Amino acid sequence: MPPKNPASSNLGFLLADTTRLMRRRFQECDSKSGLTYAQARALVYIARFEGRRQVELAEGLEIQPMTLARLVDQLQAQSLVERRPDPQDRRAHRLYITEAAQEPLREIRKLGQQVYDRMLAGLDQAQQDALLSALELMRSNLIND
């Protein structure tokens, strides 16, 4: 029996394939930044949610805390992030970017914008706004059971 809405039969595939291709483009760009894709992703996330605990950031990145700990070790070795003790929980650390991270972050964002520009080429502003609204609604529908 064919699906009631033909768009729904392709939606999951299109979202997954677009995400895969976007990730591939980001990986190509991140190699130009001198960081691995995982390091660049973690650095951007830490900058966006600066001061959060490591475990919270791992959840947001959907990676294991030990995986994030290794990435933070690598970023810390490059003086891009620092761990600070959590004043409320001495077992935990909060993550902050350093001044040295500013230039790599600018480069990552510039390269990322190139990926977004390529991905959105051919869509006018109204179409881009509609796409973002639709994706936000879809995400909300899945979060709010």
* pLDDT exceeds cutoff 90 at 1: no
Which residues, in sequence order, are bridge partners of residue 96?
Answer: 82
pLDDT at position 31, please? Answer: 67
pLDDT tens, position by position, 31-44? 677 888 899 999 99
pLDDT at position 122, please? Answer: 97
| Confidence label for 17 from pLDDT (cuts 50, 70 and 90) | very high
Average of per-residue pLDDT values in the chain: 90
0.95 surpassed by pTM = no
Parse the chain into domains and list their residue ranges. 22-143
What's the CA gap between 108 and 46, in Å, rounded? 13
CATH topology of domain 22-143: Arc Repressor Mutant, subunit A (1.10.10)
Helices (H), the chain: 6-33, 37-48, 54-61, 65-77, 102-120, 125-143
pLDDT (mean) for 75-87: 96
pLDDT (mean) for 118-128: 96
Name the more confident of 143 and 27: 143
Mean pLDDT is lowest, of 29-33, 114-118, 121-125, for 29-33
* pLDDT exceeds cutoff 80 at 6: no
Name the more confident of 90 and 128: 128
* pLDDT exceeds cutoff 90 at 27: no
Q: Which phi and psi (to 5°) does residue 9 adopt?
A: -70, -25
| Confidence label for 90 from pLDDT (cuts 50, 70 and 90) | confident
